[in-house]
Structure formats: structure tokens, C-alpha cells
Amino acid sequence: MHADTLLVRGTIVFTPDAGAFAVHPASYLVVRNGLVCGLFEQLPSEYAAASVVDYGARLIIPGFVDLHTHAAQFFQQGLGLDRPLLTWLERYTFPQEARLADPAYAKEAYEAFAAELLRQGTTRAAVYGSIHAETVRSLAEILTQKGIGAYVGKVNMDSRCPAGLREETAASLRETEALLADWPGGPFVKPILTPRFAPVCSRALLGGLGELAQRYQAPVQSHLAETREEAALVQALFPEFEEYHEVYDAFGLFGQTPTLMAHCLYLSDKAIARMRQQGVVAVHCPDSNLNLGSGVMPVRKLLSAGVPIGLGTDVGAGHTLSMRQAIIRAVQLSKLPQIVETSGAALSLAEAFYLATKGGGAFFGRVGSFEPGYSFDALVVEPERSGLSPVEALQQFIYADRAERIVARYVAGRKLQ
Amino acid sequence: MHADTLLVRGTIVFTPDAGAFAVHPASYLVVRNGLVCGLFEQLPSEYAAASVVDYGARLIIPGFVDLHTHAAQFFQQGLGLDRPLLTWLERYTFPQEARLADPAYAKEAYEAFAAELLRQGTTRAAVYGSIHAETVRSLAEILTQKGIGAYVGKVNMDSRCPAGLREETAASLRETEALLADWPGGPFVKPILTPRFAPVCSRALLGGLGELAQRYQAPVQSHLAETREEAALVQALFPEFEEYHEVYDAFGLFGQTPTLMAHCLYLSDKAIARMRQQGVVAVHCPDSNLNLGSGVMPVRKLLSAGVPIGLGTDVGAGHTLSMRQAIIRAVQLSKLPQIVETSGAALSLAEAFYLATKGGGAFFGRVGSFEPGYSFDALVVEPERSGLSPVEALQQFIYADRAERIVARYVAGRKLQ
């Protein structure tokens, strides 16, 4: 048998598609070089002599994928969330991000962020750092050391932002390219271009980042249409474009390489069609949108339109790194159309779970499922009590929100400590 | 000095009214016979020789008051919450409650419920058991033994419910009276009359419970106008009344003794005025209402009308016994009117905290604040990190939802183990 083969046994639950949970009680997953080779009810004879990690009645589920979160805001978790967006940014977020220039402070913040990410069962994340290239290196190293899979972005912003956080355009591009050329992360921690959002970026910065995306074939993350005010501001600042998304699109930052766009609340049908065409991923951050009173993503509409969607915690506008809470809130908010009497069916739990695993995982490649060829990114979960069906045990794990029920975590077949 | 005097020192935060947090860094609370005597920046000389429990930089806040939760549904926590109300009741809740006839099962469930209530920082709660008088006794004893303050109700229901849970009217009243006459709870655990809700109660049952309320001066709890369908059903079942609340009111179950009404989503101005007049407490259960797609309580409207309001977790329709989550969701949902463009200002965190402490605590007497004469029901909370203001530390405790930050709990001056 291959030396890098891992055999695990337990109650295996995942969502190959968004329709329903696939449930395999007392089954085996064969993992080779970190990838799922197969799922079996009976262990094939070729593995008869191999040792099995037997989790008994415990659940084995895909690790959570958080597609939008700000490591630089972790220390402001939960602060000022009954304030409106602009007050919150000015009073909490910008001063907080300015402190990430300090390597010692950044190390402390990023160590705590990574530990909490792990504790909450997130195994892959798309993460924003701050504008500071040196501490973004530190963030990438810490995530690498913890064994979490991540895309890590150095934020770019050169316009209409506080003096301490406003970059000089050429320096911003130079430091970003230096990171791409000499990236500190391991094989599972990669760089991602991160123009904060159009209102704080000049055309020169956006154009330069689009060129870097092309040259280094680097992915891109940003924010799109989080609030009506922001959308109106972008129209005013970029009058040569009819719609917000066209600003990113014109500069090669909208699906020319793999792209994440957080929020996506106020989009035209034309914008939605372009997202689908370009494969741009819409990241649904329901707690953040509620906390800041931004609105509610039309998740059913985007799903129906075929736009790829994942979930994000968006700490600090979101208050928790728990992807279980993101799942709960996504289901809850999807019921609002029933309540306010518009239209659109609510999400099932399976749909929301799918969004939090395979839906978001697709951005990382074959991640977030247990089909052959998929990376073995997994959590092992102790059910709250016996006598529950596997889906019931999973529901309870999600809603009861007791992270301590996670007894093991794997990324790419490697068990994390 | 009096033998029953307790002196505690720390960063004291509470909400004397809903407008703002009262913050007293490095201050003392003097507690005598379980009641707050005074709050001092300098310890008065008469206490100079007394020993002080010094919590240093830790927060001391009022314990949370959960005004609506179902102990009998604790073991179904988080199950089936992407289903509609009726499916959820039939598939999960009624079978679950039927099991509470078994004393051994009930003891296990109620021990777990009480432990989790405590872990989450709830020090007082209004609790539903099941229809089974014997295991309701057990629930009262367990809560007494844990030191939690509670009103505990044996559920009454004799109509339109599954056979295994349908009571014979005279037996239901007889068993309820026997509980009132020979109550097993200690001084902080008291009985409360608990007609489940009008659709499952006959006129004879409601009338008999109204008489018991009067005779024993016992408080009352029930559900009111949780969904539009339920309100329509009550109209059909009780055609002699114009409005839902009049059914309870006519039978002496609407403020004739202290009364809790959970949900209160679909009420006329007339009903709201009657609640205010009668001092009936509306219990806001935001997670439950979202989970079941019931709607959103018009909390601002009820507050403006002068109706007393508290918060409830409503487990099992709510998914967590964390009152911090109830606070978060109450603030979040209060922002929906901004989003869906109707009217009403969102809640501040202080307002929601008030609802979860003093607002709800008023049902227990002078509970939920630290003003003189108030019961010393308190949590001691370790801030996530140094350098935060007290209100920031409290915000973070609420939103980050790490119950393990609670390092001590008091009810009526007694430290719980």
C-alpha cells in the first residue's frame, strides 16, 4: 500500500450537490496524497492489511470554507455593530487596520485569528490582511504553520481613505508584486490580489493590479455593491461606467483570473449575467449585512441565475468566525421574502451547507466534497448525543454552535494539531 | 458588619434604563442578603475591615434573563429548523415532548438543559416543561439544585393535539392545582400557569386556569400571535372574540396576574394598548421567529407603546440558549425596517442588553440591575483582551459568544458552583 494513504471510518456526510445531504454511515474514505480516492461501505480487499483511523459513530464532514474574512479586523470582533457602516469604519476599522503596521501587534492578532479560525472548524479561507506587506507575510506564515489552507491578500487602497492607510500608487503596486514574486506561504497558502473596493482605488491602481493578475495569473478578491450608498458613490466616482461591476471588469479584475466578490446585494440582471459568464464568485456574508444594516443578498436569485456562491463570515462586520453561524443566518435570512411577502424559496440546510463547503471550496479547486479527486479537508465531529440520525447530528452541531464537538481536523489529508 | 454581606469589586456595567450603559470602573458593589445595597467608587469606611472579592479588570454585569424557553425541547436543539412550523411541531416537538413522561429521560434532559442555561450565563428563566406533572417537579428540583432562578410551568393542552399529549380537562386542572399546592421548588424557583396556546385549549381549561391564577395568585405564560396562520385559527376557533388576546383576557389569563406572552408579532393597536394597560410582558424571541419564518416582532412599536418587553431564546424553535445570541439577533432584526424600507429605528446594543437584563428581570421583581434593592444576580466576565473600554469588552463578550469567558455567576448574592 502507498505510504501516503490514509483510511478513515465513520459516519460520512457531505453535499455533492446543493439538493440534499449524502449520508454514508459506518463507511470508509480512502485518501491518498491528501486526496479522496473513494468512499466504501466495505473496505476493499487491497486495504485489508492497512490500519484504519476509526471514528466510530462520529461524523466526518468537509471542513468549512470561509470565502471572505478580514484577519486585520479580528481584534475588533463584535465592536460597534449597532452603528452604521461609516461610523463603524471610521471609529473601529481604520484605526484597527492602521495598527497592523506593527509586526509584534500583527503577530499577536494573526496568531489569535488563526487559532479561532481553526477552533471554529474552518479549514480554508480567503483572508484580507491590511495594506502592510510585511505583516501580510507574517499572516501567510502563521496560516501556513497552522496548516490552514488560505488565499491571503495585501489590501490595496490609494484614494479617499485616512492618511495613515492611504498608499502611494506606485509603491502599492511594487510591494504587491514583490509579494507575488517572493511569496512566503506554503503550498496551501497562496496570494490573492485585494483592491479593497472601487471607492478607495484610483484607476491607475486598479489597472496596475489587473496587469499583475494577468502576469502572475493571480486570483482577485474585492467588495461589490454592499450598500446602496456605496453603489451610488461608485457611479459618481467612475461616471464613464454604467454599472459598479464594470469598473472591476474594465481593469481585468472581474473573472479574468479567479475572482471573489463579497456581498453583491444591489446588482442589475446585466451584472448578474456577467458574473455568471465570468465565473465570478459571489460571497454571501449574512451576519455582516444584518449587523451593518446593509441589506440582504438576493441569494435565491443569484443561485437561480447560475452565479457561483460561497459563504463568508466577514469578521469584523460579521461578529463570529463560526461558519456554522454563517450557515444558520443564510437560512434565516432566506426566509425573509416569505415574511415581507416578496418572492423566493428559503434555503434548505443542505443548500446552505453546500454553500459553506463545496460551493465555496470550488474556488480552491476540488475542495469541499468527498468525491474522488477531492482534497481531504475534513472535520470529525462528536454528536451531542446518541440516537440522532446523521443529518440530525449535523444539524445540531451547526445550530448548537459548540465548536468543542470538533475532535479532529484535516487539510489535504493532514491531521492538524 | 452583617454576616450576609458580600463585597465585590470590578468593572461594573449595567443598564439602569434602556438608553445607555452605566459604567463604573474599579468600583464596589455592596450586597446584603442577596440584594445590592450600593455601588461605590471608594469603599465606605464601615466596610474597611471587610474582605472584598476583587475581580480586578473583569466585568461584572447582570446575569441574563431568558423569558421564554422550553426545557422539554432541549434535546431537539437545532433540529429541523429549515422546516415550516407545522412540520417541525409534528416531526420533532410533539414526539420529543411525549418522551418527557419518562422520569429517567426527563431527568437527563433537564440536567443537560440546566447545565447549558448556566454555561450560557442565564441566571433567571421562564421555562416550559411538558404536560407531565411528575417530571415538571423534577425540572423544578434540578433548577433549584443548580441555583438558577426560574418560573417553571407544567404545560396544559386538551384540544386539537396528538393523542399522547392531549390531557383530559379535569385531570389537567387537578394536576396543575396539586403542583401549586405542593410546589417542589426552592425560594427562587416558582410555578407559573402555562396554557400552551389558545388553539390547543378548551374554554373549560382556560377558565379553570384563570380561576387557579386568581386563587393562588400565580403568574401565567403563553404564546400570542406567533404566526398569521395561528391568529387566523384562533379567530375560527373562538368566533365570539374579536381578537386573539381577548381569548386569554376573558378567562383571566392576560395580566390579571403577572403574565408573559411570547412572540406578539401580529397584534392590533387595540391589543397593544390592552397589553400596556394590563402590564402584560411581550417576549421577543428573534431567532425562533426567523428560524420558523414566522415574521419579525414590531419591537420598536411595542416599546414606543409602553409595553414591557423581554427577550427569550425559545429553544427548540430558537437554536441556542445563549442570551447573547438573542441580543445580537434582536439588534440585527431591528435593522430590517431600514432594509425593507418601512419605518422604525434599530435597537442600540444597550437597548437590547436592557431587554435581556432589567427589562425581562422586572418579571421577577427587582432583578436585572444593580440599583439599590435589586437582587444581586450577576456574571463575572473576563475580557477577551486588555485595552478595551468596558463597553467594548461587553460588546465583545456578547458578540464573540464565548461562554467560557464567564468566570463567576451569582443569583441573589449566592455564588453558583
Put simply, the answer to whether A77 touches B328 (Cβ < 8 Å) is: no
A349 pLDDT tier (thresholds 50, 70, 90): low
CB contact under 8 A, B384 and A339: no
Give yes or no for residue A402 having a pLDDT over 80.
Answer: no
Reported as a single tens digit per residue, the pLDDT across A104-149 is 999 999 999 999 988 888 888 999 999 999 999 999 999 999 989 8
Residue A381 · residue A58 · CB < 8 Å? yes
pLDDT in the model for residue B345: 59
DSSP secondary-structure letter at B90? I
The domain A64-364 is placed in CATH, from the list 3.40.1390.10, 3.20.20.140, 3.50.50.60, 3.40.50.970, at 3.20.20.140
What percent of chain B stands above pLDDT 90?
Answer: 52
- Find the mean pLDDT for residues B47-71: 90
How many Cβ contacts (< 8 angstroms) between chains A and B?
A: 101
pLDDT number for residue B59: 85
Contacts of A77 in chain B (CB under 8 A): 384, 396, 399-400
Q: Is B159 on the interface with A (CB under 8 A)?
A: no
Chain A positions in Cβ-Cβ contact with residue B399 (cut-off 8 Å): 77-79, 81, 319-320
Check CB contact under 8 Å for B81 and A319: no
Q: Please list every residue in chain B whose beta carbon sits closer than 8 Å to the beta carbon of residue A386.
A: none
The residue among B385 and A51 whose pLDDT is bigger is A51
8 Å CB contact of A291 and B332 = yes
What global pTM score does this model have? 0.91
Give the Cα-Cα-Cα angle A13, A48, A21 (nearest 5 degrees). 10
- Say what the ipTM of the complex is: 0.89
Per-residue pLDDT, B145? 92
Q: What is the pLDDT of residue A340?
A: 65
For B124-158, what is each residue's pLDDT tens digit?
A: 899 999 999 999 999 999 999 998 989 999 999 99
Confidence of residue A342 (pLDDT cuts 50, 70, 90): very low
Which position has the higher pLDDT, B390 or B67?
B67
What HEC string does chain A produce? CCCCEEEEEEEEEECCCCCCCEEEEEEEEEEECCEEEEEECCCCHHHCCCCCEEEEEEEEEECEEEEEEEHHHHHHCCCCCCCCHHHHHHHHHHHHHHHCCCHHHHHHHHHHHHHHHHHCCEEEEEEECCCCHHHHHHHHHHHHHHCCEEEEECEECCCCCCHHHCCCHHHHHHHHHHHHHCCCCCCCEEECEEECCHHHCCHHHHHHHHHHHHHHCCCEEEEECCCHHHHHHHHHHCCCCCCHHHHHHHCCCCCCCCEEEEECCCCCHHHHHHHHHHCCEEEECHHHHHHCCCCCCCHHHHHHCCCCEEECCCECCECCCCHHHHHHHHHHHHCHHHHCCCCCCCCCHHHHHHHHHHHHHHHHCCCCCCCCCCECCEEEECCCCCCCCHHHHHHHHHHHCCHHHEEEEEECCEECC
d(CA A156, CA A142): 21
Beta-carbon count within 10 A of A373 CB: 10
pLDDT digits (tens, 9 = 90+) for B399-410: 766 678 888 878
Residues 47-86 of B with CB under 8 A from A: 75, 77-82
Q: How many residues does chain A have?
A: 417
Question: What is residue B2's predicted lDDT score, i.e. its pLDDT?
Answer: 54
Number of C-beta neighbours around residue B238 at 10 A: 19
Which of A82, A266, A353 is most worth mutating to test chain B (most B CB atoms within 10 A of its CB)? A82
The 10s digit of each residue's pLDDT in A190-224 is 999 999 999 999 999 999 999 999 999 999 999 99
- Residue with C-alpha cell 411581550? B282
Percent of chain A residues topping a pLDDT of 70: 95
Give the chain B residue whose CA is nearest to the CA of A347.
B82
Over residues B341-394, the pLDDT tens digits come to 444 555 666 766 776 787 777 777 788 888 888 888 888 888 877 777 787 778
pLDDT score for B386: 76
- CATH class of residue range B5-63+368-415: mainly beta
The mean per-residue pLDDT over the stretch A139-165 comes to 94
**pLDDT attached to residue A409:** 79
Contacts of B336 in chain A (CB under 8 A): 336, 340
Q: Is A141 exposed, middle or buried (0-12, 13-18, 19+ CB in 10 A)?
A: middle
Which regions of chain A carry the CATH code 2.30.40.10?
5-63+368-415
Which among A291, A348, A392 is the nearest to B79, CB-wise? A392
Mean per-residue pLDDT over chain B, rounded:
89
- The amino acid that residue B278 corresponds to is Q
- For B33-51, what is each residue's pLDDT tens digit? 888 889 999 999 999 888 9
**Burial category of A51 from C-beta neighbours within 10 Å (exposed 0-12, middle 13-18, buried 19 and up):** exposed
Q: Over chain A, what is the mean pLDDT?
A: 89
Instruction: Find the residue in B nearest to A76 (Cα).
Output: B396
User: Given the C-alpha cell 410551568, which residue does it identify?
Assistant: B153
Percent of chain B with pLDDT over 70: 94
Lowest mean pLDDT among A163-172, B52-61, B380-389: B380-389
- Dist. CA A73–CA A69, nearest whole Å: 9
Taking the CA of residue A290 as centre, how many other CA atoms within 13 Å lie in the half-sphere pointing to its CB?
27
Q: Which helix (H) or strand (E) holds B384?
A: none
Are the Cβ atoms of A396 and B296 closer than 8 angstroms? no
Specify the DSSP element, H or E, that contains B249: helix B244-250
Does A339 contact B296 at a Cβ distance shorter than 8 Å?
Answer: yes
Please say whether the beta carbons of B137 and B184 come within 8 A.
Answer: yes
Is the backbone peptide bond immediately before B56 cis, with ω within 30 degrees of 0? no
**What pLDDT score does A183 carry?**
96
Could you tell me where in chain A the CATH 3.20.20.140 domains are found?
A: 64-364
A399 touches chain B (CB under 8 A): yes
Position A400 scores a pLDDT of 65
Q: Exposure of A166 by Cβ count < 10 A (0-12 exposed, 13-18 middle, 19+ buried)?
A: middle
Cell of A399: 445550530
Query: What's the confidence (pLDDT) of residue B342?
Result: 45
